[in-house]
């Protein structure tokens, strides 16, 4: 267990609220701003952004830190959103700062600021991919009238999320095809018991899938590709913005398409918060060595 710390949380969604509660349960002091629209967690002390920064030694920013690159991601804040400008970063000097996808912020953290992107850690990415896969299956079960078992599924992209999702679908009895560009990934798809296809070949012929899951943040599922999907196929786009599905074309073609962003924060916020917390603890312990 990490020695007692004082954490300050700024902004975020249900994951950040669950994280605050979990840190309190571990015996830490927790100050928070930007979670006013969510149920209050016992022991979490609400404060202004300035007080949070002043009183905390470690600052926890959300995942993602920003959605537009300029303002803090704080959809449940009661007031205006802080600008992530030079003045904001300067106010955090002397603190240990954690955030998810810091590279998306247009004004970068200044040199000398102890800032850590926990979302860039491999252990975080792998565990978060597993939660995303579970959330994708939950959407598929909700949107489809078919069971996963026996369904023909395509997983486009074989990165961390694609691998976790293909394995989960196969374990549930689906007939899984996965796409990749690199020969080594094609080999791994086949070694893991799935049918493999080159991503460039997706949509080159009739596509008899019941469910399509896209993890590639590039325009893979264009109007031409979508037109080759069978009637009743459901397309779930898990890719980060701008995504990989032409939603306007899907609507025109009568296909059900779902954009599923930040799934862990929506389908399993407590588990997602635990992953963030353990990654933060690991980084703090590494800094003390």
Over the chain, what HEC string results?
Answer: CCCCCEEEEECCCHHHHHHHHHHHHCCCEEEEECCCCCCCCCCCEECCHHHHHHHCCEEECCCCCCCCCCECCCCCCCCCCCECCHHHHHHCCCCEEEECCHHHCCCCCCCCCEEEEHHHCHHHHHHHHHHHHHHHHHHHHHHCCCCCCCCEEEEECCCHHHHHHHHHHHHCCCEEEEEECCHHHHHHHHHCCCEEEEHHHCCCCCECCCEEEECCCCCCECHHHHCCECCCCEEEECCCCCCCECHHHHHHCCCEEEECCCHHHHHCHHHHHHHHHHHHHHHHHHHHC
The dotted CATH code for 125-265 is 3.40.50.720
Q: Where are the domains of the chain?
A: 6-120, 125-265
d(CA 107, CA 104): 9
Tell me yes or no: is domain 6-120 CATH 3.40.50.720: yes
Cβ-Cβ contacts under 8 Å for 18 (sequence gap 6 or more): 269, 270, 272, 273
Angstrom distance (rounded) from CA 50 to CA 58: 14
Say if 6-120 and 125-265 have the same CATH topology: yes
What was the pLDDT predicted at 108?
86
Question: CA-to-CA distance for 66 and 73, rounded, in angstroms?
Answer: 5
- Angstrom CA distances, 145 to 13, 139, 206, 228, stand at 30, 12, 22, 21
Please enumerate in sequence order all residues whose Cβ is within 8 A of that of 184, keeping only pairs 6 or more positions apart, or say none: none
pLDDT of residue 38: 93
What's residue 232's pLDDT?
93
Whole-prediction pTM: 0.89
pLDDT of residue 252: 96
The tokens describing 153, both together, are 């599924």
Tens-digit pLDDT profile for residues 34-87? 999 999 889 999 999 999 999 999 999 999 999 999 999 999 998 889 999 999
> CA 175, 179, 180: angle at the middle one, nearest 5?
145
Query: Could you give the CA distance from residue 190 to residue 196 in angstroms, rounded to a whole number?
Result: 6
- Low-confidence stretches of the chain (pLDDT < 70) are 1, 206
Q: What is the reported pLDDT for 287?
A: 87
**Looking at residue 222, what is its pLDDT?**
96
User: Rounded to an integer, what distance in angstroms lies between the CA atom of residue 286 and that of residue 289?
Assistant: 5
pLDDT at 110 (0 to 100): 86
């Amino acid at each position: 267990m990490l020695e007692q710390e004082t954490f300050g949380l700024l902004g975020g969604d249900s994951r950040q609220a669950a994280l605050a509660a979990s840190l309190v349960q571990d015996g830490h002091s927790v100050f928070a701003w930007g979670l006013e629209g969510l149920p209050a967690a016992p022991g979490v002390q609400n404060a202004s952004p300035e007080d949070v920064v002043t009183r905390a030694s470690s600052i926890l920013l959300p995942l993602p830190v920003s959605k537009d690159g300029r303002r803090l991601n704080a959809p449940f804040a009661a007031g205006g959103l802080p600008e992530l400008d030079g003045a904001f970063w300067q106010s955090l000097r002397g603190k240990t700062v954690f955030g998810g996808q810091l590279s998306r912020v247009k004004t970068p953290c200044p040199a000398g600021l102890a800032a850590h992107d926990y979302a860039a850690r491999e252990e975080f990415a792998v565990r978060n991919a597993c939660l995303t896969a579970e959330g994708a299956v939950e959407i598929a079960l909700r949107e489809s009238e078919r069971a996963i078992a026996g369904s023909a599924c395509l997983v486009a992209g074989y990165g961390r999320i694609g691998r976790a999702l293909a394995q989960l679908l196969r374990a549930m009895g689906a007939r899984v095809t996965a796409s990749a560009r690199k020969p080594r990934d094609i080999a791994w798809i086949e070694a893991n018991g799935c049918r493999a296809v080159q991503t460039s070949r997706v949509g080159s012929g009739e596509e008899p899938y019941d469910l399509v899951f896209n993890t590639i943040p590039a325009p893979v599922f264009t109007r031409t590709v979508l037109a080759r999907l069978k009637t009743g196929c459901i397309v779930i786009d898990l890719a980060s913005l701008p995504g990989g599905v032409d939603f306007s074309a899907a609507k025109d073609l009568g296909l059900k398409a779902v954009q599923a962003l930040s799934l862990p924060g929506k389908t399993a916020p407590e588990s997602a918060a635990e992953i963030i917390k353990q990654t933060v603890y690991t980084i703090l312990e590494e800094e003390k060595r």
